[in-house]
Structure 1
Amino acid sequence: MDAALGAPEKMAENEDELTPMMSQYFELCREYDDSLVLFQVGDFYETFCEAAEKTARLLEIALTQREDSTGTYPMAGIPIDNAESYIETLLDAGYRVAVADQVQDPEETTTVVDRAVTRIVTPGTLTEDELLDTDDNNFVACLTEDYERYGLALLDVSTGDFYATSARRTGAIADEVSRFAPAEAIVEPGAADETATECFDADCLVSPYDAAAFESEAARERVESYFGSPDALLAADAEIRACGALLAYAEYTRGGAEGDETESGGERGSLDYLNHLTRYEPREYMLLDRVAVSSLELFERRTVHGDADVTLLGVLDETSCALGSRTLKDWLRRPLLESDRIEARLDAVEEWTHDVRTREEARDLLREVYDIERLIARISRGRANARDLRSLKATLDVVPELKTAIADFESERLVELRDQLDELADVRDLIARAIREDPAREITEGDVIERGYDDELDELRETEREGKAWIDDLEATERERTGIDSLKVGHNSVHGYYIEVTNPNLDSVPDDYERRQTLKNSERFYTPELKEREDEILRAENRADDLEHELFRDVRSTVAAESERVQAVADALAQLDVLAALGEVAATRDYARPDIGGDGIHVEGGRHPVVERTQDSFVPNDAHLDSDDTFAVVTGPNMSGKSTYMRQVALITVLAQTGSFVPAASARIAPVDRIFTRVGASDDIAGGRSTFMVEMTELAAILESATDESLVLLDEVGRGTSTTDGLAIARAVTEHVHDEVGALTLFATHHHELTETADDLPRAFNLHFAAEGTDDEVVFDHEVRRGAATASYGVQVAREAGVPDEVVGRARELLAEAESADVEVDADIDDGASDPPEPAPKAIADGAADELAERLREVDVATMTPLEAMNELAELKRDVE
């Protein structure tokens, strides 16, 4: 973004000549030079000069002109009431937005109205409901580096979720970033661009922030002001600096006028609702990097076709409220490794599964729960209105009923969560007494505070009501007194209350009427008594509105002071919702409780949780991988189900370690530390990487990071290059993973030669998907069996896909020729003993035959497959020729 984006360059040269308002605008643009400043002028947010030209073009709004003593310059504005939709467009275009509001009543000054930036809206620090995805967190990240250690902090400003970790490699940081998918990140000034590029996706807005915020002492002080001793919470200076700088950035984006305080009485910019900082080790959870998340389609489809909800999350998300939906996504991003924690979740899910009545009752109650995690954040920041407080109370009213509903549950986790459900009777009572059931949206215009809450307010409202009732009766009284049947009593915002008499009746106007306004067909008057009543009403009304605002702010700050208690309730409600949803899925879709522990992965009658929901029928399959059988080579025709089977095993493992029942007749899962996938073709043309290069890069990451406790899925490794190269790579990978890594592996391939490799490795074995084929069609049974496949049936699949008949026919001819060549080579090798056959002399120049024969004798073709032998013969022949 351009520096001083909103600052008028022409005016900067003649700063002394600026009008007071434009001088104020210029100062704000200079102070917030990394943002586009939206400057309140009445009911609009305006931009000027170069910024106006840019915003008019981006937002497709009119570009107008403003003229003052310094000249004429461009101006573009958006209505304040509809500002959020325009701000979203600016964010999508890569801008930060500094919102400068009027912080002074125009009637209080005879010069320019004071304005201040009250918030800075950035992709990672959104708090506005209109701009947020209710079902997902919105994180901003911070990356630091100290002594070859990288610190990572992540904060969701809208909920208060705050995490920190560190690692020695950027690859490990990139893996952690992929869990949270931050919308924005800050780094130290001067940080290497390569590091940021490696750690953050292109969709993440990465920018440097104030160097002072990253200084160790400043960061320590800031962390301590929120959470206590940083050394007791965090494990490395890089983590402390990342957390401190991120807090500074979050405070900066909060904005606020000088002297402004938070609802809890904190300093300007302070985020009082941040009560917890969670420091974690990456090894505490199963790692699913961005490649695995994408290829397993946990949250998004990899293709543009089909239902967007056909993902693991879409199938599994039976949650009742936004709190639960976000938590479910977090659990799927970070499956557990500790068996005890997994079993505790499974115990809870099992109780929900078996008790249908309680499950339905609890889920009905949870549907009434508002997003109180974000509500309490808005309340603490002083941005909540009266309706937000009523929504909080409505949720808290559910808590006692929910505790009663689950009173008989006995599993350890559900008992803990039930005990965590603080009924917050004091907060509920305060809101009930103070805030009307259906309050006005604006908190400065009355109709917010409940009658009976404050005696002074009640007296003022009664005075106002009595005055208005007297005025309501005035029209009838004056008609009777004056005899003017057309007399009317009215009110407008300019002239206040008046008595209107038409021109033909002016002769009947009493002497105590004083003229207020002359119209074309009538005159408007007032009486001393009407004026006295009007003043009395206005005084009562203005004082009542001001008092209501003061009382509301007091109530809001009292509630904000209980943010930690509210957040604890929100966390309990979210987890109860997820566990109940998993119970619903298990009960209605025939999922089984997995056994956690033992050796390897053992699944009987396993099903793909997503595919089975999209097809009329699904063939279950078993899967067995353990210390004796670590590596499965999976062969079979195209479309027979190899990729589905591999993903199925991985998804069942993810579900089990999340604490969910699984789509299987039975399962025993020993937790895996990571799931690696090299599945499907993709490229990075913009980054200069072909499909094969992407494949090899992903493969390299797997070979470098996988352990003997990992699950590895490999699909068609080596297909992006020549057959000989591809087979060589596939075989080398097979041997390395089997011998050196020891990971549980499923390797799907069309290199049927790998099945022989599997026979030679002690812990490798063959699986295949059988099919029956003719020249015209192929029939799949989608059942996995031990042993190797005998054919790929690619030509038949091509025909079924709609490839033209002439192409299919030619493919069959070529296939027959290739098979015939294989047979001839086999015969030659079988009959030639130690000497391979020599080519006919007429095929080569004189003297070359002897050389070729000599070189052929040096090749041990007896150890080769027919295809390898044929390729070797052809290559040597070309060399000699």
Structure 2
Amino acid sequence: LYQKNKKKEFLEMFGDRFYTYGLEDWAFTPEFGTESLLRHFGTNSLKGYGIDELEMGIIAAGAALHYLAETQHDKVQHITSISRIEEDRYVWLDRFTIRILELFSSPNDNAKTLVHIIDQTVSPMGSRMLKRWLALPLKEKAAIDERLDCVEHFLRNQETSSEIVRLIESIGDLERIISKVATGRISPKEVVQLKKALKAVEPIKALLNESGQPSLRALAEKLDPCAAVTAKIEKEIQPDPPYLVAKGNVIASGVSPELDDLRAIAFSGKDYLLQIQQRESERTGIPSLKIAFNNVFGYYLEVTNAHKNKVPAEWMRKQTLTNAERYITPELKEYEEKILGAEEKILALETRLFTELVQFLAGHIAPVQQNAHLIARADCLLSFATVALRNNYIRPHIAENHVLDIKDGRHPVIEKQLPIGEEYIANDVYLDNDTQQIIIITGPNMSGKSALLRQTALIVLLAQIGCFVPAKHARIGLVDKIFTRVGASDNISSGESTFMVEMNETA
């Protein structure tokens, strides 16, 4: 997003490789930004969000909301909060470090990255949260230890952990589903998935509560199964509805008497006519009474001349034949009107009832979003426990000092790429402020100099996101920044050194 009158400067600075959208200059003022945010969140101040003094942030957020409104994306009630990324809470990683450590991507084809190794989450929202954790390692010892305590608990209680993983797997992408409720673009099938997801919250809550682990119990207390939501979906939506409302048979029986009547008419017409015929035959004592249809006057009752003296006064004669007479009744005319437009009416009624249900769900966005966030957190911690178990990781000791002591450290990515039977050669690293602040590593090509550099950074990073680490012992003094520079883009995970890459490029 950029100011329309600054398009030339924008293109000179960033080029035309991005998708862009120009807004008027007044959309980039602090007054407009503040007004937009206050109106959206329904508050009198931005102080509670901790952003009241971040003028540039307010301008950017206000411009983003204005863009959504201008492009008809006005259903944004799922955006329920705004916060700043506090630099004093997270480790600083510059873009070169992220690229060189190959946290999320690699310039080399088919190369594994750190996220490939540690992401064993079973839900899309858990996977997204894990990537955020990896990009923003923690700096507070208490917060790191809290995550490590949870991972340790899951490791010690494998049976419970496996059951929670199974339940989370059944939830699907709760975060995305509830955002579709806000935009009004949720399908009937997704509504049923929302019900299934919320039903899985209750046993997850119970298992976490029974764990006895303080952090997990605190997480469980915040989980809300949203019983009213599951009950309403259970009552109003068919168990296996189509993806589109237009396909029909979305709303369950018993929700709307009018809909049930229309369905009975549209799909059980003969049965309904037989019921009328039988009832009227018994009431009038005309055993030969029958109901038929023609294009002239629609549905009618036919009575033979032998019984025409039994015809009730309210029946209206429409046709006289040689041996019989034909009559219509208000009930038959009403039925006829219903059946002729039943399918259209069914679709309109189902659409209205489904829209009303979605509006009801929109009133429960906040607690469902909270559930999604908490379940994603549990998924990440379970993923760390799974990785630790599979790869023989240990719990790092986090200290508020300047000592880095790693015994038999391993590179988490390279060790998984080695041929079967070949073991990774582990390394020790010790650094402190008093006796060994700097290490100079020398050696021939492919001896592991770059690997050791990256391995040390990755072990520290893993420790500070609350994950166990590939080592026999690790004492990590908290760091606030990680910088990594390697001479060239080597392909370390595939066994090519910096020198080899350079030689290949030259050749």
* TM band (smaller chain): 0.7 to 0.9
Question: For residue 620 of structure 1, what is the aligned residue in structure 2?
Answer: 426
Tell me the SS of whatever aligns to 1:383: coil
* Alpha carbons 1:350, 1:583 under 8 Å: kept: yes
Q: Which has the higher helix share?
A: 2
Tell me the SS of whatever aligns to 1:650: helix
1:271 aligned to 2:71? no
* Alpha carbons 1:344, 1:411 under 8 Å: kept: no
CA gap 1:535/1:559 in 2 versus in 1, 3 angstroms: same
TM-aligned CA deviation for residue 528 of structure 1: 9.4
TM-aligned CA deviation for residue 336 of structure 1: 0.7
- Residues of 2 paired with 1:284 and 1:202: CA distance? 35
- Residues of 2 paired with 1:296 and 1:459: CA distance? 65
* Alpha carbons 1:251, 1:271 under 8 Å: kept: no
TM-aligned CA deviation for residue 232 of structure 1: 3.9
TM-aligned CA deviation for residue 532 of structure 1: 8.1
Residue of structure 1 aligned with 2:3, choices 182, 188, 200 = 188
- Residues of 2 paired with 1:381 and 1:532: CA distance? 39
The correspondence of residues 89-108 of structure 1 with structure 2, limited to 5 A, is none
Question: For residue 303 of structure 1, what is the aligned residue in structure 2?
Answer: 108
Deviations 1:351-384 (A, max 9, x none): 1111111111111111101211111111111111
Deviations 1:469-506 (A, max 9, x none): 46899xxxxxxxxxxxxxxx9xxxxxxx99xxxxxxxx
* Alpha carbons 2:75, 2:184 under 8 Å: kept: no
Question: For residue 376 of structure 2, what is the aligned residue in structure 1?
Answer: 574
Question: For residue 280 of structure 1, what is the aligned residue in structure 2?
Answer: 85
Deviations 1:388-434 (A, max 9, x none): 11010010010111122223323333122111210100100011001
TM-aligned CA deviation for residue 197 of structure 1: 7.6
Tell me the SS of whatever aligns to 1:413: helix
- Residues of 2 paired with 1:621 and 1:440: CA distance? 57
- Residues of 2 paired with 1:371 and 1:202: CA distance? 34
TM-aligned CA deviation for residue 303 of structure 1: 1.1
* AA of the residue aligned to 1:302: P
* Alpha carbons 1:593, 1:661 under 8 Å: kept: yes
- Residues of 2 paired with 1:579 and 1:588: CA distance? 14
1:443 aligned to 2:245? yes
Deviations 1:114-160 (A, max 9, x none): xxxxxxxxxxxxxxxxxxxxxxxxxxxxxxxxxxxxxxxxxxxxxxx
Tell me the SS of whatever aligns to 1:623: strand
TM-aligned CA deviation for residue 640 of structure 1: 0.4
- Residues of 2 paired with 1:638 and 1:651: CA distance? 21
- Residues of 2 paired with 1:547 and 1:536: CA distance? 13
CA gap 1:192/1:251 in 2 versus in 1, 3 angstroms: closer
- Residues of 2 paired with 1:192 and 1:444: CA distance? 44
TM-aligned CA deviation for residue 673 of structure 1: 1.6
TM-aligned CA deviation for residue 446 of structure 1: 2.7
Question: For residue 433 of structure 1, what is the aligned residue in structure 2?
Answer: 235
- Residues of 2 paired with 1:254 and 1:624: CA distance? 57
- Residues of 1 paired with 2:104 and 2:117: CA distance? 10
1:646 aligned to 2:464? no
* AA of the residue aligned to 2:62: G
TM-aligned CA deviation for residue 218 of structure 1: 2.2
Question: For residue 555 of structure 1, what is the aligned residue in structure 2?
Answer: 357
1:221 aligned to 2:35? yes
Residue of structure 1 aligned with 2:95, choices 277, 290, 300 = 290
Question: For residue 208 of structure 2, what is the aligned residue in structure 1?
Answer: 406
Q: Which has the higher strand share?
A: 1
- Residues of 1 paired with 2:99 and 2:67: CA distance? 31
1:610 aligned to 2:404? no
- Residues of 2 paired with 1:589 and 1:321: CA distance? 21
Question: For residue 241 of structure 1, what is the aligned residue in structure 2?
Answer: 59
1:381 aligned to 2:188? no
TM-aligned CA deviation for residue 459 of structure 1: 2.4
CA gap 1:338/1:388 in 2 versus in 1, 3 angstroms: same
* AA of the residue aligned to 2:78: Y
Which structure has the bigger radius of gyration? 1
CA gap 1:190/1:469 in 2 versus in 1, 3 angstroms: same
Deviations 1:455-476 (A, max 9, x none): 2222222233342546899xxx
- Residues of 1 paired with 2:257 and 2:213: CA distance? 50
- Residues of 2 paired with 1:472 and 1:644: CA distance? 83
CA gap 1:249/1:596 in 2 versus in 1, 3 angstroms: same
* Alpha carbons 1:607, 1:621 under 8 Å: kept: yes
* AA of the residue aligned to 2:407: E
CA gap 1:192/1:286 in 2 versus in 1, 3 angstroms: farther
Question: For residue 827 of structure 1, what is the aligned residue in structure 2?
Answer: none
TM-aligned CA deviation for residue 270 of structure 1: 4.2
Tell me the SS of whatever aligns to 2:433: coil
Question: For residue 422 of structure 1, what is the aligned residue in structure 2?
Answer: 224
Query: Gapped runs of 5+ residues in structure 1?
Result: 1-185, 256-268, 474-488, 490-496, 499-511, 513-526, 683-714, 716-779, 781-791, 805-881
CA gap 1:671/1:205 in 2 versus in 1, 3 angstroms: farther
- Residues of 2 paired with 1:627 and 1:293: CA distance? 25
* Alpha carbons 2:75, 2:182 under 8 Å: kept: no
- Residues of 2 paired with 1:302 and 1:201: CA distance? 22
Tell me the SS of whatever aligns to 2:428: strand
TM-aligned CA deviation for residue 283 of structure 1: 3.2
TM-aligned CA deviation for residue 656 of structure 1: 0.6
Question: For residue 635 of structure 1, what is the aligned residue in structure 2?
Answer: 442
- Residues of 1 paired with 2:62 and 2:188: CA distance? 33
* Alpha carbons 2:206, 2:220 under 8 Å: kept: no
* Alpha carbons 1:230, 1:240 under 8 Å: kept: no
- Residues of 2 paired with 1:536 and 1:207: CA distance? 51
1:230 aligned to 2:230? no
Deviations 1:547-568 (A, max 9, x none): 2211111111101111001000
CA gap 1:472/1:205 in 2 versus in 1, 3 angstroms: farther
- Residues of 2 paired with 1:528 and 1:639: CA distance? 96
Deviations 1:701-759 (A, max 9, x none): xxxxxxxxxxxxxx9xxxxxxxxxxxxxxxxxxxxxxxxxxxxxxxxxxxxxxxxxxxx
Question: For residue 665 of structure 1, what is the aligned residue in structure 2?
Answer: 472
* Alpha carbons 1:275, 1:564 under 8 Å: kept: yes
* Alpha carbons 2:123, 2:168 under 8 Å: kept: yes
State the aligned residue count. 443
TM-aligned CA deviation for residue 194 of structure 1: 6.6
* Alpha carbons 1:315, 1:609 under 8 Å: kept: yes
- Residues of 1 paired with 2:220 and 2:32: CA distance? 40
* AA of the residue aligned to 2:423: S
CA gap 1:194/1:579 in 2 versus in 1, 3 angstroms: farther
CA gap 1:364/1:553 in 2 versus in 1, 3 angstroms: same
* AA of the residue aligned to 2:35: E
* AA of the residue aligned to 2:430: H
TM-aligned CA deviation for residue 531 of structure 1: 9.6
1:254 aligned to 2:61? no
- Residues of 1 paired with 2:5 and 2:451: CA distance? 46
- Residues of 1 paired with 2:8 and 2:477: CA distance? 40
* Alpha carbons 1:358, 1:405 under 8 Å: kept: yes
* AA of the residue aligned to 1:290: R
- Residues of 2 paired with 1:347 and 1:189: CA distance? 52
- Residues of 1 paired with 2:117 and 2:15: CA distance? 26
- Residues of 2 paired with 1:455 and 1:536: CA distance? 14
TM-aligned CA deviation for residue 222 of structure 1: 1.1
Residue of structure 1 aligned with 2:398, choices 592, 596, 603 = 596
Question: For residue 302 of structure 2, what is the aligned residue in structure 1?
Answer: none
- Residues of 1 paired with 2:211 and 2:130: CA distance? 21
- Residues of 2 paired with 1:471 and 1:330: CA distance? 63
- Residues of 2 paired with 1:250 and 1:379: CA distance? 17
Tell me the SS of whatever aligns to 1:602: strand
CA gap 1:196/1:609 in 2 versus in 1, 3 angstroms: farther
